């Protein structure tokens, strides 16, 4: 072996060792940002520009959406709204049945299967579910719900029905998130106790920069939730927007958020737009996967 070929041999050897080391130490970190959104405005209880700006600013990967109405609800109108709000390539489902204020799910990743489970307590919506093919082997089941305003007993009846649907339909070891507008008057009512059998319901809760965890328009009630099961909760990570860090997630209120430059193109008046339902609630999770691509370097 002449000297030059020897150098090349050493070079190839070190590349091989180095790339092997990369397979051991490199992991791919995938952020999964999940939002509960009952953000309809205007006189038709539908998604308009204020919600669109909030979606554009907060960049969720998965949205558990309520009152999922856009214009006349044609597929083309909803497709256009989703593309403008989240960018190209996002997927969505709207619960079947043509109810007045349906639940739905929006996802960066492919929706493998979706549908609704009947909420017999209320005529204008059901429990919407989607099985999402997130990166890695385990799927994420997302369930978007909108419990009754009427009273806590009715909400607990709904929560009990939902718990039963999930125990029958969702593989116990998959990731699961339940969320949306639960209309809960406090953090300890029976519906939450019921759901605590399948998802993590304990504090700390997402909050705004002032520490306020309430999510209705006047910020006095904890109506909206993002509830992960134990596997997903184990991936909890601080939510970072610009220079701001929210260790337990964010309740987004454009009226109090500073600086608004971190959440462009939101306007300070978006959370007080005509008939704006609630505040968005956002939580981040971090999935660490090995990087198999590195194996192909040598």
Which pairing describes strands 27-37 and 62-65: parallel, antiparallel, or unpaired? parallel
Nearer to Ca ion, 133 or 200 (CB): 133
Distance between CA atoms of residues 161 and 114, nearest Å:
18
Nearer to Ca ion, 172 or 297 (CB): 172
Nearer to Ca ion, 133 or 248 (CB): 133
Of the candidates 121, 142, 120, 123, the one whose C-alpha atom is nearest the C-alpha of residue 131 is 142
Q: Which of 42, 71, 97, 115 binds Ca ion (CB under 5 A)?
A: 97
7 contact partners, CB below 8 Å, separation of at least 6:
none
| Total site size for Ca ion, rule CB under 5 A | 6
Name the minimum Å distance from CB 223 to Ca ion: 19
Does residue number 95 form part of the binding site for Ca ion (CB under 5 A)? yes
Write b or e for each residue in 228-259: b if 16 or more Cβ atoms lie within 10 A of its Cβ, otherwise e: bbeebbebbbebebeeeebebbbbbbbeebee
Name the minimum Å distance from CB 70 to Ca ion: 17
Name the minimum Å distance from CB 287 to Ca ion: 10
Of the candidates 201, 143, 128, the one whose C-alpha atom is nearest the C-alpha of residue 174 is 143
Binding map of Ca ion across residues 130-149, x = CB under 5 A, - = no contact = ---x----------------
Do residues 294 and 192 lie in contact, with contact meaning Cβ atoms separated by under 8 Å? Answer: no
Nearer to Ca ion, 97 or 185 (CB): 97
Nearer to Ca ion, 28 or 133 (CB): 133
Does residue number 126 form part of the binding site for Ca ion (CB under 5 A)? yes
Exposed, middle or buried, 86 (CB in 10 Å: 0-12/13-18/19+)? buried
Does residue number 185 form part of the binding site for Ca ion (CB under 5 A)? no
Considering only 55-63, 79-87, 118-126, 168-176, which stretch makes contact with Ca ion by CB under 5 A? 118-126
State the number of CA atoms in the 13 A half-sphere of 246 facing the CB.
27
Considering only 1-9, 88-96, 196-204, 260-268, which stretch makes contact with Ca ion by CB under 5 A? 88-96
Q: Which of 116, 158, 208, 253 binds Ca ion (CB under 5 A)?
A: 116
Does residue number 119 form part of the binding site for Ca ion (CB under 5 A)? yes
The Cα-based distances of 257 to 25, 175, 206, 252 in angstroms read 38, 31, 14, 7
Question: Which residues in this chain contact Ca ion in the complex, by CB under 5 A?
Answer: 95, 97, 116, 119, 126, 133
């Amino acid at each position: 072996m002449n000297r030059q070929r020897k150098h090349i041999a050493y070079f190839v050897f070190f590349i091989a060792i180095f790339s092997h080391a990369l397979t051991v130490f490199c992991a791919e970190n995938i952020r999964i940002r999940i939002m509960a959104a009952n953000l309809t405005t205007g006189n038709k209880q539908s998604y308009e520009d204020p919600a669109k700006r909030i979606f554009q600013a907060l960049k969720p990967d998965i949205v558990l959406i309520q009152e999922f109405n856009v214009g006349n609800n044609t597929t083309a109108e909803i497709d256009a709204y989703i593309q403008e709000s989240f960018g190209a390539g996002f997927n969505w489902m709207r619960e079947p049945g043509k109810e007045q204020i349906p639940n739905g799910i929006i996802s960066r990743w492919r929706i493998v299967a979706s549908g609704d489970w009947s909420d017999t307590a209320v005529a204008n919506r059901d429990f919407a579910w989607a099985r999402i093919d997130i990166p890695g082997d385990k799927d994420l089941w997302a369930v978007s719900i909108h419990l009754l305003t009427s009273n806590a007993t009715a909400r607990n009846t709904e929560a009990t029905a939902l718990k039963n649907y999930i125990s029958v339909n969702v593989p116990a070891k998959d990731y699961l998130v339940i969320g949306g507008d639960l209309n809960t008057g406090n953090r300890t009512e029976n519906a939450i106790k019921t759901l605590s059998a399948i998802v993590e319901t304990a504090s700390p809760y997402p909050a705004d920069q002032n520490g306020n965890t309430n999510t209705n328009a006047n910020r006095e009630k904890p109506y909206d939730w993002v509830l992960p099961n134990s596997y997903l909760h184990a991936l909890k990570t601080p939510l970072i927007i610009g220079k701001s860090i929210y260790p337990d997630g964010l309740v987004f209120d454009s009226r109090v958020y500073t600086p608004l430059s971190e959440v462009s193109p939101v306007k300070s008046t978006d959370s007080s737009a005509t008939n704006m339902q609630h505040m968005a609630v956002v939580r981040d999770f971090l999935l660490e996967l090995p990087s198999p691509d590195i194996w192909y370097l040598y």
